[in-house]
Homo-oligomer: A and B are copies of this chain.
């Protein structure tokens, strides 16, 4: 996805829909987190590396704008970029698309705290370096449709 070094895919679960027949708006918040975790796994040793370092990353803000409804079983591509890291704070930006059509976009803000004391603590240096390197790189090679399908659920194409 243009402008995003990383792309994660989710398939809308039936449990994530609501009585309007579309994906519930709170589901997107969970998907952004899953995309963020996948970004960290790809570029910065994973969220577990952060937690293993005695640090927790708290979410301090969520902002989401919904452009189109998503439906059950839709495969959504989520572009992720780390837009800012400063002291004990960092910020992610996201774009959610279905087949190249915008569905939603937004950002989340985070603060790193010491897991024991819950006091703010600077984002670890290795994390900053890994993220800067990721953001400076060209995007990961565009996934083929089949591979991207595979990302949300291993299944042969439906035949009916």
Contacts and interface: CB of A to CB of B under 8 A. Distances in A.
Select the residue from A7, A71, A150 with max chain B CB neighbours within 10 A.
Answer: A150
A81 to B, nearest CB: 16
Interface in A73-90: 73, 75
A14 B33 contact: yes
Contacts of A42: 155-156, 158
Provide the main secondary structure of the chain A interface. mixed
A61 B38 CA distance: 24
Contact of A160 (B29, B45, B151): B45
A124 B34 CA distance: 36
A141 B49 CA distance: 33
A101 interface: no
A155 B41 contact: yes
B19 A30 contact: no
B146 A49 contact: no
B153 A38 contact: yes
A9 B75 CA distance: 16
Contacts of A117: none
Top 7 nearest A-B pairs (CB, nearest first) are: A45-B160, A152-B153, A149-B153, A17-B19, A151-B154, A26-B29, A46-B158
9 contacts: A13-B34, A14-B18, A25-B29, A25-B59, A41-B156, A46-B73, A61-B63, A143-B154, A148-B153
Given A20-B56, A146-B150, 4 more contacts: A9-B154, A15-B34, A45-B158, A46-B158
